[in-house]
Amino acid sequence: MHGIEREEHARQLHARLLQLDPVAPAEFAEAFLDELVRRLRAKAGPGYEETLFHDAATDALIDYIQHPSKFNPRKSALLTYLTMAAYRDLLNIIAKEQRRRRHEVPLQDVEETLIAGNNIIEPEDQVLNGITMTERAELLRMVAETFPDSCDRAFLELMVNGERRTTIFSDVLGIQSSPPDEQRKIVKRHKDRITKRLQRLRGKIHGK
């Protein structure tokens, strides 16, 4: 199927999804899931495990099928929108995996820590270990409330994980085609906005 033909087919299926046609989700997945994986692979570049592409593309497609009205046809082509959503999911999955790995302590490190008399504790771990499950749940709720937009949350995760490359932030915002100077400005603006919200959140937590 050629590009224009493919987009037309996607548009027709989108209309059927909006009309609650029960077969449309299955047809959409059959027609576009592998194309979405292909596009995601091309966008992300080499160095990722294949299962990550499958998970991210499937998650994005399932979310879209359940909420087709989130897509605005006037803003972009459907497959471009889905590729961006899948790419965001991919970044989220990677960030989650990085977080999980950071908390996995290799056996050798555990031994060294024990020898040092448990004195080597990261400050953030010290804070995290000191709070109860209820406090954790409350904190996560407050973060979700402060950053209701999934794009903002992906952006925040990258910041928390120490990402510094503008191109990665640009990908999340979907502004990779803008000139580099423009990208830097937009990314900075977003970082400032998110930092301000974080500061307000911090104030709320301390005020409690």
Is residue 37 within the footprint of other proteins (CB under 8 A)? yes
CB 55 → other proteins: shortest distance, Å? 8
- What is the distance between the alpha carbons of residues 5 and 19, in angstroms, rounded to a whole number? 21
Return the residue matching tokens 């009309």.
19
20 binds other proteins (CB under 8 A): yes
111, two tokens: 């031994």
| Residue nearer to other proteins on the CB measure, 12 or 66 | 66
HSE-CB at 207 with a 13 A cutoff on CA atoms is 6
Question: Minimal distance in Å, beta carbon 18 to other proteins?
Answer: 12
Rounded Cα distance, 186 and 192, in Å: 10
Give the contacts of 174 (CB within 8 A, at least 6 positions apart).
84
Of the CA atoms within 13 Å of residue 182, those in its CB half-sphere come to 7
The reply on whether position 86 binds other proteins by CB under 8 A is no
Considering only 10, 44, 61, 172, the residue that binds other proteins (CB under 8 A) is 61
User: DSSP assignment of 62-123, as one string?
Assistant: HHHHH-GGG--TTTS-HHHHHHHHHHHHHHHHHHHHHHHHHH---HHHHHHHHHTTT----H
Q: Which of 34, 97, 109, 135 binds other proteins (CB under 8 A)?
A: 34
| Between 38 and 188, CB nearer to other proteins | 38
Query: Could you tell me which stretch among 4-12, 54-62, 116-124, 162-170 binds other proteins (CB under 8 A)?
Result: 54-62
Rounded to the nearest whole angstrom, what is the least distance from the CB of residue 31 to other proteins in the complex?
9
Q: Which of 6, 7, 59, 178 binds other proteins (CB under 8 A)?
A: 59
Contact 166, 183 (CB under 8 A): yes
Query: Which CB atom, from 58 or from 146, has the smaller least distance to other proteins?
Result: 58
Using CB under 8 A, list all residues that contact other proteins: 20-26, 29-30, 33-34, 37, 54, 57-59, 61-62, 65-66
